[in-house]
Amino acid sequence: MPVNQLNAFQMAQTQFDGIAAKINIDPQVREVLRYPAREFRFQIPVRMDNGKIQVFFGFRVQHSDARGPAKGGIRFASNETLDTVRALAMWMTWKCAVADIPLGGGKGGVVVDPSTLSVGEKERLCRGWIDAVWHDIGPRVDVPAPDVGTTPQMMAWMMDEYSKLAGHYSPSAITGKPLGVGGSLGRTEATGYGVVDTIREAMKHLGMKPEKTIAAIQGFGNVAQYAAIAYIKELRGKVICVSCYDRNDQVSYTYSRKDGIDPIFLQSITDQYGTIDQAKAKDAGYTAEEAEAWIAKEADVLIPSALEGQINSDNVNRIHPRVKIVAEGANGPVTPEADEELKKRSIFDIPDFLCNSGGVITSYFEGVQNDMNYYWDHPSVLRRLDQKITKAFHDVLETSLERNMYMREAAYTVAIGRVVDAMEWRGWI
Ligand code: GLU
């Protein structure tokens, strides 16, 4: 099958197979890691506001718990499938391992467009998700968190439902909670800030001056918003565009402004589902261009921070010759074919599970704070995040330089090596 027709799980397996062969992972171990350890697929009947029951389908996949409890977000998306969740669960295993946090990989999902639900319906769906799987998750088993389409409020309902069923307050059963119900300072901006921490290190390595650089960002969800803010605040660079899906027009737009975008202003005109108010943006001097205009911008750094498969064989040739770094804020944004092209062009790629690991690193900190029932201040969280992700970046860079490997391959080498090591110590292989 041509690689561009692979679904997300086949893509995750292809990446894994390629690197496993290259670094000589025992074929029996490969067979274990190619598939998730456990999968749950369940129905969630929800009483809707009109009094009728609607059945939703939910998933939770635990790919590996060799290094610790499975960990990973829950997506609410209308095109969610068991295969997308499997892929994302596998990527979480590598993400936690590369970040060197004592957690495994998991992911969950519900087939739903959350913008079609009322607040009450959302709450009942979240509680229903927990009712269906609470026996198989928990602080020492598998810890969910937010992802595309889910929010801290939803995590609070889920934590509450889990606590009620468990019979005791269990904040560390779910991370990404709001402050005040066991959330951590810094969790909201963690993924975007972490993305920029890795870009800063890549620029040091490549000898680039951050304040002279331009970034083009795809997306304007949680990751993209804080990556834009940190790029301007921490690196003093310019962000030339972001993009977003417009729910009213049902298409995506790239919003750009010649002198650079102002992410705080754009946040103030973005609704809770990530749609930027087009009229207000135009009034403020922004141009709304076609969806993929972001990829062709004359920029030094591309930060795809939306969904998987966004840089692919159809558009990879549109990348401007000036681009030196692709920093993968999203999970799986580059298809294997496009990846070959990036390699050929010697673009420095910061692979997703390294680049966007700031979210789960801070989720880990959240769980640690919950368990000791003592909470760190904001600068302490961001400092620890920076230390952890910078160390992860250099572990990967070192491997890449020592073994003459592309960054993605080096990241897999580090991550798979750590997982296999845990499996060996535990006597599983
Ligand atoms: N959903 C985020 C991710 O893909 C965070 C996961 C977590 O915090 O457990 O990394």
Q: How far is the CA of 289 from the centre of ligand 1 (A)?
A: 30
pTM for the whole thing?
0.95
Residue 146 CA: which ligand 1 atom is closest? 1
Output the ligand 1 site: residues, CB below 6 A: 71-73, 95, 145, 147, 175-176, 331, 356, 359-360, 363
Taking alpha carbons only, the member of 351, 335, 347, 345 closest to residue 399 is 351
Angle CA 176–179–183, to nearest 5: 35
* Residue with token string 């290094």: 67
- Structural domains for the chain: 35-171 (3.40.50.10860), 188-355 (3.40.50.720)
Q: How far is the CA of 273 from the centre of ligand 1 (A)?
A: 18
Q: Report pLDDT digits (tens) over 409-422.
A: 999 999 999 999 99
Is the sign of the CA dihedral 42, 75, 307, 85 positive or negative?
negative
330, HSE (Cβ side, Cα atoms, 13 Å): 20
**Cβ contact 15:406 at 8 Å:** no
Which among 191, 305, 308 is the best mutation to test ligand 1's pocket, defined by most ligand atoms within 8 Å of the CB?
A: 191
CA distance 297 to 299: 6
**Cβ contact 334:311 at 8 Å:** yes
Pairing type for strands 325-327 and 238-246 reads unpaired
Protein residue with its CA nearest to atom 9 in ligand 1: 72
Residues found in the chain = 429
Which among 67, 198, 360 is the best mutation to test ligand 1's pocket, defined by most ligand atoms within 8 Å of the CB?
A: 360
**In this structure, how many other beta carbons lie within 10 angstroms of the beta carbon of residue 296?**
18
Report the SS3 class of residue 252.
strand
Catalytic residue among 71, 95, 107, 388: 107
Q: How far is the CA of 40 from the centre of ligand 1 (A)?
A: 19
- Give me the residues paired with residue 270 across strands: 276
Q: Report pLDDT digits (tens) over 337-359.
A: 999 999 999 999 999 999 999 99
Q: How far is the CA of 96 from the centre of ligand 1 (A)?
A: 9
User: What CA–CA distances, in Å, run from 75 to 155, 241, 258?
Assistant: 12, 25, 34
Phi/psi at 334 (5° precision) = -110, 125
Q: How far is the CA of 285 from the centre of ligand 1 (A)?
A: 34
| Structure token digits, residue 423 | 């499996």
Q: Is 107 a catalytic residue?
A: yes
**In this structure, how many other beta carbons lie within 10 angstroms of the beta carbon of residue 318?**
13
Per-residue pLDDT of the chain (429 residues; tens, 9 = 90+): 445 567 889 989 988 999 999 999 999 999 999 999 999 999 999 999 999 999 999 999 999 999 999 999 999 999 999 999 999 999 999 999 999 999 999 999 999 999 999 999 999 999 999 999 999 999 999 999 999 999 999 999 999 999 999 999 999 999 999 999 999 999 999 999 999 999 999 999 999 999 999 999 999 999 999 999 999 999 999 999 999 999 999 999 999 998 999 999 999 999 988 899 999 999 999 999 999 999 999 999 999 999 989 999 999 999 999 999 999 999 999 998 999 999 999 999 999 999 999 999 999 999 999 999 999 999 999 999 999 999 999 999 999 999 999 999 999 999 999 999 999 999 999
